[in-house]
Amino acid sequence: MSIIPEGRAWVYGDNIDTDQLAPIHSYKNRNAEEGCKFCLQALDPDFAGAVEDGDIFVAGANMGIGSSREQAPLHLKLLGIRCVLAKSFSRIFYRNTLNFGVPALICADVGRINSGDRISVDPLQGRIDNVTTGETLTCDPLPEHLMEMIGNGGLMAHLRKKLKQEA
């Protein structure tokens, strides 16, 4: 994977927690394809229905605070989110997101992105193009070895590929 192509930004604030991204009733008796429809229901009931494949999630500080439940990033991924930008991340959510093959990028400039803006992201270069405003923003780049894992589809797909190569 190299550049995240242009997608629509969904912009939210600080402390988006895992209980909002994946409330327990969304995954206890449901598979993730069903459960993701409850993602962010308490914060923005329109999000899950309106988000489209290729969209980009933009949050403030401490994105993904809360539990280790992987349904939080998985729901975003299944809803079509291709990249998560945030001022900062909660540490378990950060690793979980990368492990699912979705770039999670730390971006001090998230305040310069508005909901609905069309943006594209280059994780290796740490570059964000806001097509709507014409601005170029920066984010902390991801190292190549992590982008390789992400490009392979996440940690499990990456391990499968490695095992096959060793065999």
Partner 1 sequence: MAAMTLSEKIIARAAGLDTVAPGDIVTCTVDLAMMHDSSGPRRAGKMLDELGIPIWDKDKLVVITDHYTNDPDPGSLEIQAITHKWVKEKKLPHFLAEQGICHVVLPEKGFLKPGLFCVGADSHSTTGGAFGAFMVGVGATEMTGVLATGEIWVRVPETLRLDVSGELAQGVAAKDVILKLCGDIGIMGANYMVVEYAGSAVRAMAVDERMTLTNMAAELGAKTGLIAPNEATADWLIAAGAQGIDIETWQGDADAPVAKTITMDGSALSPQVAAPSNPENAADVAEHAGTPVAQAYIGACTGAKLEDLRMAAEVVRGRKAAAGMRFFVAPATTQIRDEAATDGILKVLEDAGAVILPTGCGGCIGLGDARLGENMTGISSTNRNFVGRAGPASSKLYLGSAYSVAAAAMTGKITDPRELL
Residue ranges binding partner 1 (CB under 8 A)? 15, 17, 19-20, 23-25, 28-29, 41-43, 61-62, 65-70, 88, 90-92, 95-96, 99-100, 154-156, 159-160, 163
Compute the least distance from the CB of residue 48 to partner 1, in Å. Answer: 14
Compute the least distance from the CB of residue 9 to partner 1, in Å. Answer: 22
Phi/psi for 136 (5° steps) reads -110, 125
Q: Which is nearer to partner 1, 18 or 130 (CB)?
A: 18
| Amino acid identity, position 122 | D
Q: Which is nearer to partner 1, 131 or 156 (CB)?
A: 156
What's the 3-state SS for 79-146?
Answer: CCCCEEEECCECHHHHHHHHHCCCCEEECCCHHHCCCCCEEEEECCCCEEEECCCCEEEECCCCCHHH
Compute the least distance from the CB of residue 141 to partner 1, in Å. Answer: 15
